[in-house]
């Protein structure tokens, strides 16, 4: 594992990452001054930069590195029939159950999954597997009474009230709805999209025709999605408003197995390219397929709280386009000029949550290291070992002391770099403190202007590397080229070509 956090301390990392995110301007609770809104978060001054860099690494890998993938940006509101056709109005549900004593609501499947996890932890793997199999069987048949009976048979108690005083299990639709139109009686109910994918499907023909796209081809999109999650928890892992980065790849029916494998490999390689250790990635085959899929696997990351889904690779067959054909009464066929065939394309989808990817990135980059300060006192150094292309700030420029001509020279370096990268300038506090303030943000480089810069020949500065803390003298004339090279998104993209 390429992290210097020991395995036992890795599992204790989650609360540290959460408070780090808040303390250093990465993530804030939404409307915090009003005590926040559950499962809704805002990104701060450093979070927004990291998030945009992650988004760019995904977007360019999709659109720039594949000649046959283009991007779109569809509106969040869509014609309500979209969601009838896609199956979300009738089928996008979670089974929920309430405890009558604590008045707390739970996802019935998650209560059973937790019970299975307890069996697993106590070494009873067979019992855990059997329980999950029985639950999946009941959910597949939509047997909600059976699910409740299973919860009762397992004697599962509410963690708050410690009673088994459960209501029946009900399906809870996860879509948020609102009204469009100024006159109440004529207003139309519309949904906040629960996935960005449908914006791609309804534009399939527009893009194919206007772009003269030949199958196989893909359409990528980044945008907000909304789900009224029954249980929203674990920080930005499960949110009610989140961002998805999705790509629908349109293919000839019958070729879905090979393209499914292609995208599984391509996406795993991308995660490695942005710096995620492969040992903390794995594929998980879905036990219960979504209504649209004939195959589905998740890319899971080993978070400090366990393996969790980050991305889904789904073989969606021709389900969505066929449904939209039927509901819109518009043909959504592809005409193959070579064979003369007309067909509804099959689709392989890659779908990753940007917020979950953000959390993954913080978890895998967080480092605590024992060091000794100048006086020999031991202390813990905390830093984010982010890929330089992802780091919110690329370089910090410091005059060694707040005196001329050092300040003027440092300011000149800021001006030389600021059009090309995100630069931070600071002149107060000791140099050690200034380095430490950048380490916690993941700034990969710090540049110090000292008296040698001014007095000695060649105008050199000290360049300090975040992870190794090594320092070297670099000439100001070479600085821009070196930093541009090291912090370019191309250092990620070149691993994918
Ligand atoms: N279009 C397919 C689709 O939406 P999904 O597995 O429901 O598939 C894809 O979602 C990804 O979106 C997940 O792997 C996860 O990263 C992210 N995601 C889903 N629900 C989320 C939530 N409530 N909060 C944050 N991210 C979420």
Tokens linked to 27: 């993530």
Q: Is the pLDDT of residue 1 over 50?
A: no
CA distance 203 to 466: 45
CA of 416 to the centre of ligand 1 (A): 41
CA–CA dist 336, 77 (Å, integer)? 32
Which residue minimizes the CA distance to atom 7 of ligand 1? 195
Ligand 1 atom 27 nearest Cα: 353
Cα of 352 from ligand 1 centre, angstroms: 7
pLDDT category at 6 given cuts 50, 70, 90 is: low
Distance (Å) from CA 470 to ligand 1 centroid: 40
The CA-CA-CA angle for residues 352, 466, 406, to 5°, reads 125
CA–centroid distance, 227 to ligand 1, in Å, is 9
Q: How far does the centroid of ligand 1 lie from the alpha carbon of residue 353, in Å? A: 5
Specify if 2 maps to a domain: no
| Cα of 42 from ligand 1 centre, angstroms | 18
On whether both 130 and 202 belong to a single domain, the answer is: no
DSSP class per residue in 47-68: HHHHHHHHHHHHHHHHHTS-TT
In a domain, 229, yes or no: yes
- pTM for this entry: 0.92
Which residues, listed in sequence order, are joined to residue 347 by a DSSP beta bridge? 250, 317
pLDDT at 11 over 90: no
**Can you tell me the distance from the alpha carbon of 270 to that of 494, in angstroms, rounded to the nearest whole number?**
11
Residues with CB under 6 A from ligand 1: 195, 197, 227, 229, 238-239, 242, 244, 246, 309-312, 349, 351-353, 355-356
16 CA from centroid of ligand 1 (Å): 24
The confidence score (pLDDT) of residue 5 equals 57
* Protein residue closest via CA to atom 22 of ligand 1: 238
Which pLDDT does position 8 carry in this prediction? 59
* CATH assignment of the domain containing 443: 3.40.50.800
Query: Is 214 in the same domain as 148?
Result: no
Q: Are residues 352 and 255 in the same domain?
A: yes
Give the mean model confidence (pLDDT) for residues 322-328: 97
Q: For ligand 1, atom 4, which residue shows the shortest CA distance?
A: 195
d(CA 385, CA 296): 32
Q: Is the pLDDT score of 68 beyond 60? A: yes
Residues 454 and 343 in one domain: no
Residues 328 and 203 in one domain: yes
Residue 202 included in any domain: yes
Pick the residue whose CA is nearest to atom 21 on ligand 1. Answer: 238
pLDDT of res. 193 = 97
**pLDDT over 70 (residue 472):** yes
Residue where one domain finishes, among candidates 309, 328, 362 = 362
Residue 317 lies in a domain: yes
Residue 414 DSSP code: H
Number of residues in the chain:
497
Residue 329: the pLDDT is: 97
Distance CA 115, CA 57 (A): 39
The residue nearest atom 19 of ligand 1, judged by CA position, is: 353
Question: Of the residues 197, 233, 312, which should be mutated to test ligand 1's pocket, given the most ligand atoms within 8 Å of the CB?
Answer: 312
- DSSP code of residue 338: T
Cα separation, 400 vs 397, in Å, equals 10
Residue with tokens 């809870």: 172
Q: Are 320 and 86 in contact (CB under 8 A)?
A: yes
Both 265 and 341 in one domain: the answer is: yes
Instruction: CATH number of the domain at 214, please.
Output: 3.30.930.10
Number of domains making up the chain:
3
Binning pLDDT at 50, 70 and 90, where does residue 379 land?
Answer: confident
Instruction: Give dist(CA 465, CA 443) in Å, integer.
Output: 9
Protein residue with least CA distance to atom 2, ligand 1: 351
Question: Pocket of ligand 1, candidates 244, 284, 300: which has the most ligand atoms within 8 Å of its Cβ, to mutate?
Answer: 244
Range of the domain at 402: 386-493
Do residues 483 and 417 lie in contact, with contact meaning Cβ atoms separated by under 8 Å?
yes
277-313 burial code (b ≥16 CB/10 A, e <16): eeebbeeeeeeeeeebbebbbbbbbbbbeeebbbbbb
Q: Which of 232, 353, 357 to mutate to test the pocket of ligand 1 (most atoms within 8 A of CB)?
A: 353
Distance 449 CA to ligand 1 centre (A): 46
Q: What is the mean pLDDT of residues 348-354?
A: 98
Report CA(286)–ligand 1 centroid distance (Å). 14
In a domain, 128, yes or no: yes
The contacts of residue 464 (CB under 8 Å, 6+ apart) are 435, 445, 446, 447, 448, 470, 471
Same structural domain, 151 and 216: no
pLDDT 10s digits, 382-435: 999 999 999 999 999 999 999 999 999 999 999 999 999 999 999 999 999 999
In a domain, 275, yes or no: yes
Are 198 and 333 in the same domain?
Answer: yes
Residue 373 scores a pLDDT above 80: no
Could you tell me what percent of the chain has a pLDDT over 70? Answer: 98
Pocket-testing residue among 225, 264, 307, 311, ligand 1, by greatest number of atoms within 8 A of Cβ:
225
The two structure tokens encoding residue 32? 């915090």
Query: Do 319 and 445 fall into the same domain?
Result: no
Tokens of 470: 């090594």
CA of 494 to the centre of ligand 1 (A): 28
DSSP 489: T
Residue nearest to atom 20 of ligand 1 (CA): 238
Residue 2 has pLDDT above 70, yes or no: no
Residue 204 has pLDDT above 50, yes or no: yes
Q: Does position 112 have pLDDT exceeding 90, yes or no?
A: yes
Q: What is the pLDDT of residue 393?
A: 98
Encode pLDDT of 121-158 as tens digits: 899 999 999 999 999 899 888 899 999 999 999 999 99
Nearest-angstrom CA–CA distance, 345 and 216: 9
Task: Write down the number of H helices and E strands in the chain.
Answer: 18, 23
- 252 by Cβ neighbours in 10 Å (0-12 / 13-18 / 19+) ranks as middle
Distance from Cα 311 to the centre of ligand 1, integer Å: 7
Span 216-251, pLDDT tens digits: 999 999 999 999 998 777 899 999 999 999 999 999
Span from the CA of 250 to the centroid of ligand 1 (angstroms) = 21
Ligand 1 atom with the shortest distance to the CA of 311: 14
Three-state DSSP class for 243? strand
Q: How far apart are CA 19 and CA 28, in angstroms?
A: 10
Same domain, 223 and 140: no
Share of the chain above pLDDT 90, in %: 86
Same domain, 155 and 207: no
- Provide mean pLDDT across the span 1-22: 76
**Which H/E stretch holds residue 396?**
strand 395-399
Q: Say what the pLDDT of residue 35 is.
A: 93
Are residue 357 and residue 392 in the same domain, yes or no? no
Would the pLDDT of 4 be above 70?
no
When the pLDDT of each residue in the chain is averaged and rounded to a whole number, the result is 93
């Amino acid at each position: 594992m390429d992290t210097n956090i020991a395995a036992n301390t890795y599992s204790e990392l989650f609360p540290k990452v959460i408070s780090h995110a808040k303390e250093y301007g990465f993530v804030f609770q939404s409307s915090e001054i009003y005590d926040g809104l559950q499962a809704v978060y805002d990104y701060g001054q450093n979070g927004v930069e990291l998030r945009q860099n992650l988004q760019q690494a995904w977007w360019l890998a999709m659109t720039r590195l594949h000649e046959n993938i283009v991007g779109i940006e569809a509106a969040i509101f869509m014609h309500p029939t979209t969601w009838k056709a896609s199956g979300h109005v009738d089928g996008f549900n979670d089974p929920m159950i309430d405890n009558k004593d604590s008045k707390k609501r739970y996802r019935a499947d998650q209560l059973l999954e937790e019970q299975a996890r307890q069996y697993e932890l106590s070494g009873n793997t067979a019992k855990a597997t059997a329980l999950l199999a029985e639950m999946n069987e009941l959910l597949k048949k939509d047997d909600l009474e059976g699910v409740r009976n299973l919860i009762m048979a397992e004697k599962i108690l509410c963690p708050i009230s410690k009673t088994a005083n459960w209501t029946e299990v009900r399906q809870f639709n996860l879509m948020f709805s609102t009204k469009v139109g100024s006159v109440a009686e004529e207003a139309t109910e519309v949904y906040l999209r629960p996935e960005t994918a449908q914006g791609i499907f309804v534009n399939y023909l527009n893009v194919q025709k206007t772009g003269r796209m030949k199958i196989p081809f893909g359409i990528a999109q980044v945008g907000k999605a909304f789900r009224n999650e029954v249980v929203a928890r674990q920080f930005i892992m499960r949110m009610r408003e989140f961002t998805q980065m999705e790509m629908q790849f349109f293919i000839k029916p019958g070729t879905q197995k090979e393209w499914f494998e292609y995208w599984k490999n391509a996406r795993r390689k991308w995660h490695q390219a942005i710096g995620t250790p492969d040992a903390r990635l794995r594929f998980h085959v879905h036990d219960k397929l979504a209504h649209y899929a004939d195959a589905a696997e998740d890319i899971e990351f080993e978070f400090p709280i366990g393996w969790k889904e980050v991305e889904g690779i789904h073989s969606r067959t021709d389900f969505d386009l066929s449904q939209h054909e039927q509901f819109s009464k518009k043909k959504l066929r592809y005409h193959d000029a070579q064979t003369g065939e007309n067909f509804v394309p099959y689709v392989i989808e890659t779908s990753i949550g940007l917020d979950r990817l953000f959390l993954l990135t913080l978890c895998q980059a967080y480092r605590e290291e024992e060091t000794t300060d100048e006086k020999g006192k031991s202390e813990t150094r905390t830093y984010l070992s982010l890929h330089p292309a992802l780091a919110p700030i690329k370089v910090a420029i410091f005059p060694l002391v707040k005196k001329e001509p050092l300040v003027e020279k440092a300011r000149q370096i800021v001006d030389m770099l600021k059009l090309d990268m995100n630069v931070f300038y600071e002149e107060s506090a000791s140099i050690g403190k200034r380095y430490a303030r950048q380490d916690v943000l993941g700034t990969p480089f710090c540049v110090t202007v000292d008296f040698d810069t001014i007095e000695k020949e060649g105008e050199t500065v000290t360049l300090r590397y975040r992870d190794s803390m090594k320092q070297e003298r670099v000439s100001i004339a070479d600085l821009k080229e070196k930093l541009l090279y090291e912090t370019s998104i191309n250092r990620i993209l070149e691993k994918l070509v």
